[in-house]
Amino acid sequence: MSLYSVINAIFGSNESDPQLEKKWNLIGRENELICLPCRRVYSKRGNDYDVALYYVHGKFHAIDATCPHLGGPLDEIVDLEMLVTMERPHAMCPWHLYAYDLETGSSPQGLTVDVYETKLKEENLFILHRDELSLHPYETEV
């Protein structure tokens, strides 16, 4: 465990360990992923590092799945019609309705979430992230 991780564990910081290098994670087939406008992608490091994967206006967007306000889920859609009709789509937290721009991660309230690069290669979607990611939750110790 790095010093950074120890500090995060003690103070409850939500920041990622800068020592970890980002790598491209294969998430799945494009034609299967476009079936949902939003879903959670799980991080092997724990739920605090999960990603909300959006598919809006024919494009994938990946942002933190945890709202930096008080920890609400950003992989739940509050208003689908609003999401798909906004010129610049935003993820909206269902707890207090803070909205986060899917391109920049910023919100009018001054909070930001991390935005992760996505790419399609041979009809497979990849997300650039520090952690190992999966569409299925990782088993946790009980």
Interface residues with ligand FES (CB under 6 A) are 67, 69-72, 93, 95-96, 98
Q: Please, what is the minimum distance in Å from the beta carbon of residue 13 to ligand FES?
A: 17
- Which is nearer to ligand FES, 33 or 65 (by Cβ)? 65
State the minimum distance, in angstroms, from the CB of residue 96 to ligand FES: 3
The CA distance from 66 to 58, in Å, is 24
Tokens 């190992």 found at: 132
Q: Which is nearer to ligand FES, 98 or 126 (CB)?
A: 98
| DSSP per residue, 22-34 | PEEEEEEEHHHHT
CB of residue 75 to ligand FES, shortest distance in Å: 12
H or E segment to which residue 126 belongs: strand 124-129
Nearer to ligand FES, 41 or 99 (CB): 99
- The torsion angles phi and psi of 82, rounded to 5 degrees, stand at -65, -40
H or E stretch covering 40: strand 38-43
CB of 30 to ligand FES, least distance (A): 29
Which CB atom, from 27 or from 74, has the smaller least distance to ligand FES? 74
Phi/psi at 39 (5° precision): -155, 165
CA distance 76 to 79: 9
